[in-house]
Structure 1
Amino acid sequence: MPLESYIIAKLCKELKLKDINVHTQDFEYEAADASRIQDFLNYYKSRKLNHIEKSLLIKLILESYNDYFQSNANDAEKNRNSEIVPILSSEYLQHRDILDYWACGTEKLEDCFAITPLVRDFLSQVD
């Protein structure tokens, strides 16, 4: 089993995620769960994770946040300074490519993700 598939299987087991094909390229989309953001953050903060685990988990967390913001647009601003900002700040360089994906370059916001304004704001503060 390739390393990333092994790590996906490990995350699914330890986080009690629904059955996911461990060979999927869409782990974060299939496993995202807006109701479990805090669980994912707690896991990230409480474990010694390698680079691949951190990247997969950050993708899962951001996808879950995006799902949350899509269905709770009015509450999005309240969660702006959540626990994810310190994680991203401390490991910014490791997650830069992931953040660039969510920032959507210079696309119009209406053509972007629900969390794109928050990601762009974060990037403008750290760049």
Structure 2
Amino acid sequence: MNNSHPRYVTRSAVEGLVEKMKLPAPGEFTQDWEYEVADSTRIGEFLHAYENMDLNLEEKFALMIIIVESYNDAILGNKVEENMAELIKYHLIRDINIHINTIYYWAKLDEDDIENVFAITPFMRELAAIDKKM
């Protein structure tokens, strides 16, 4: 994949993560697999995989979406672990060339009403602001 700014989760990324991480395979009519397999109780495991597994660019992109969705769910459930935000932030910034579209999607910069955004949006807006300074 030559595009360093992925926009979509590819079938090969899903297949790779299913195999490498033993995640559930998508069903026949699954459209948003990366959101369906998110799990706020597994953020640490997902981060460990991101840091330690041999993942290609597409797999890193897909896994980070799973991590971000899982963290969003953790925020909603008041189950945020102390160091998770810093680890997620570190990886998003370190690999910003892969995750810039993910950052801007969740940052919802075009929405002024805080009631119409994700729980993780303030966190992602901070990262979008860092990107603009780079």
User: TM exceeds 0.5?
Assistant: yes
- Structure 2 stretches of 5 or more lacking a match? 1-8
Structure with the bigger RCO (C-alpha within 8 Å, sep 6+) is 2
- 1:109 maps onto 2:111 in alignment: no
User: How do 1:43-122 and structure 2 match up within 5 A?
Assistant: 43-72=49-78, 76=80, 78-79=82-83, 81-107=85-111, 108-122=113-127
Distance 1:121 1:76, change over 3 A: farther
CA–CA separation in structure 1 for the residues paired with 2:92 and 2:28: 26
Q: What is the RMSD computed on CA atoms of the aligned residues?
A: 2.3
**One of 20, 25, 30 as aligned partner of 2:31:** 25
2:3 is matched with: none
CA–CA separation in structure 2 for the residues paired with 1:80 and 1:7: 24
- The CA deviation string for residues 22-57 of structure 1, in whole angstroms up to 9 with x for no partner, is 773301111000000011111011123212111111
Q: Is the 8 A contact 2:43 2:71 kept in 1?
A: yes
Deviation at 1:89, TM superposition (A): 1.1
Q: Is the 8 A contact 1:9 1:22 kept in 2?
A: no
Query: How many residues of Structure 1 are paired with residues of Structure 2 in the alignment?
Result: 123
- Aligned-pair identity in percent equals 36
Q: Higher helix fraction: Structure 1 or Structure 2? A: 1
2:14 is matched with: 8
